Structure 1
């Protein structure tokens, strides 16, 4: 593995190389998977129980399969350099307590997956397909390092790319898209359980004015907390908001929830 300073970034860059056969055998432990600065093609990690995954430092995985794997924690993009997954298969897998780190997924398949308690920060998804259940997780396109000058790279994008992803087969439960994810470029389920608030900041102004007209009490407080949470997300580069309908209806009587929902859906 060759390391050298990068003139633009003043950080150590690691040249990606192919692992040896002996190294590939060492990566195949059932309880841990560690890849650093390597290029791997057509590797089979399917049906493995991986208690901790650590893939990063500019690794590239091409057509690798994690089908039916059980990943219980770890990071899919450790280090400064972005790790890339191309046409990888995660179908049927369980992914829990995972931080994606600095990773890019291109044309990967996540069909019939269970994703829970996972945070996809500093991550890009391009033309990936998802189905199954995604719960208590976050997809965030923001470049978190933009305010950390010691870490930021000069050529870093304004936001990480989310484009052409198909989430139409997903059951979402307490999931957020934030930090500049362009929802117009994704496909979402049309089942009445979710909706998109277009041009959210203006719509939230209208919804907040409606709530201020309600009498003081528990219902008004619940609605104000909901709208404050949505505003905080919108103000972090998120022009349109993905909203689970249950977040609007919980804690409010039907007539008041309907008023809020009509405003949020109006545009």
Structure 2
């Protein structure tokens, strides 16, 4: 039986990665993997299970790679450029796929639901008219959401099942439809919207000149911020309707959003009889004056939290013993790698010494850091929080890594200062992300999946953020999102 451990990529300097080269694999279980780098080259994979994998950088191709009858359901994958990949009869249900832009490529009989971000499906291997054709046939995209994603260079859309509804428009003859819409542009009375849509129609028309016969247009083709106002006008223009009185979908009804602090707290967990050993560790942590003794005591508590055999009652007690007895403003080293916390955990004024890590930490409730200092950076890779994440008025003196984090509730980073590079690549934000008065002093990458609003309010970027702010947040390579500023010496936006 093949073990995925034999594919660890330590030898090429990728300790948090896998590399598969010149192999034929059948029925291998990769499910649940969370890795930074995954390279597959010159290989065939049949009937393999990739369910719920999270990959920050997937490089699949180069030498031909075939995936056949593989399952990627629930996967979160961010691709880097590659070629010569072929997918046949694979399942991509409830996925988040981003930056999937292969050149030489085949996609046959596959099913997609979930979100496709910055994905490009090319009908040819390049824009040249005589470039070799790619095979893209009989795929079901009807349950997928297209966000700054497209078909181009001659994909036969009559051989695909496409999404339907008010957020999409299909044109059997794209060139004729676009020309008719261009001829009716003067009917749009709002000059700002007219200018925007004129530019979009020019981009769509260019696609038809490069061989795309049918057209599939989606509300978020040019970013989320245009979906509510400009898209209904564009759709009406394409459909031959009145662009000044377009049908508009009913506004989505969302429950009123609450600040994390206003959330109704759950009843206190039943902890059972107190474990005297944990109580003693908490007392020792509170009274320790020697740094080595303090770190040793904290390590004893975190070891309890990292042990999968620890009961819920002891987990709750150890979490409280740790958070209630940490000294304020005195450095302490916490290694919470792979730990599971008790419900609704809060750190207040804690100073985390270099060497502290929170990788693969699971918080089954709210996780709060208020006024904390991270002296060696903050490693939150593969963090899972089922409640709200609050990281407010903190200072992170080093790199911050939230790659592949899974955040179910609202995330609030108000007033936090990121002194080093900040990475959120392949993270999933199911609810809102609040970046009010957040300061990013070094390079920043927000290449994450956002299912709800991102709040930019006096958000400062000092380093390079251009490549790290995805188009769906609305910058379109012309500036930062509304509500953000460059820092005192930050770079000008380069076209």
Instruction: Provide the TM-score with structure 1 as the length reference.
Output: 0.76
Deviation, structure 1 residue 216: 9.8
- The within-5 A match list for 1:42-81 is 42-57=27-42, 59-79=43-63
Where structure 1 has 5 or more consecutive residues not aligned to the other structure, the ranges are: 1-19, 148-155
Could you tell me which residue of structure 2 aligns to residue 261 of structure 1?
Answer: 238
Residue 128 of structure 1 contacts residue 166 of structure 1 at CA under 8 Å; is this kept in 2?
yes
Deviation, structure 1 residue 182: 0.9
Q: Alignment partner of 2:147: what SS?
A: strand
Q: Deviations over 1:86-133 (max 9, x none)?
A: 101111110114435210100011111111233233211100111112
- The within-5 A match list for 1:242-261 is 242-245=216-219, 252=230, 256-257=233-234, 259-261=236-238
Specify whether residues 43 and 258 from structure 1 end up closer, same or farther in structure 2 by C-alpha distance, changes over 3 A only.
closer
More strand by share: 1
CA distance in 2, matches of 1:88, 1:246: 29
Could you tell me which residue of structure 1 aligns to residue 86 of structure 2?
Answer: 104
Where structure 2 has 5 or more consecutive residues not aligned to the other structure, the ranges are: 10-14, 242-495
- The within-5 A match list for 1:5-84 is 25-28=5-8, 31-57=16-42, 59-79=43-63, 82-84=64-66
Q: Alignment partner of 1:130: what SS?
A: strand
Which of structures 1 and 2 has the larger relative contact order (alpha carbons within 8 angstroms, sep 6+)?
1
Residue 177 of structure 2 contacts residue 238 of structure 2 at CA under 8 Å; is this kept in 1?
no
Deviation, structure 1 residue 157: 7.6
Specify whether residues 65 and 204 from structure 1 end up closer, same or farther in structure 2 by C-alpha distance, changes over 3 A only.
same
Match of 2:69 among 57, 65, 87: 87
Could you tell me which residue of structure 2 aligns to residue 144 of structure 1?
Answer: 126
Q: Deviations over 1:182-206 (max 9, x none)?
A: 1111112223211212211122221
Residue 47 of structure 2 contacts residue 68 of structure 2 at CA under 8 Å; is this kept in 1?
yes
Specify whether residues 258 and 97 from structure 1 end up closer, same or farther in structure 2 by C-alpha distance, changes over 3 A only.
closer
CA distance in 2, matches of 1:224, 1:144: 26
CA distance in 1, matches of 2:180, 2:78: 38
Q: Deviations over 1:124-180 (max 9, x none)?
A: 110011111212222222212969xxxxxxxx9832111111112212222111121
Matched, 1:199 2:181: no
Instruction: Choose 1 or 2 for highest CA Rg.
Output: 2
Deviation, structure 1 residue 215: 7.5
The aligned length equals 232
CA distance in 1, matches of 2:227, 2:35: 38
Residue 96 of structure 1 contacts residue 116 of structure 1 at CA under 8 Å; is this kept in 2?
yes
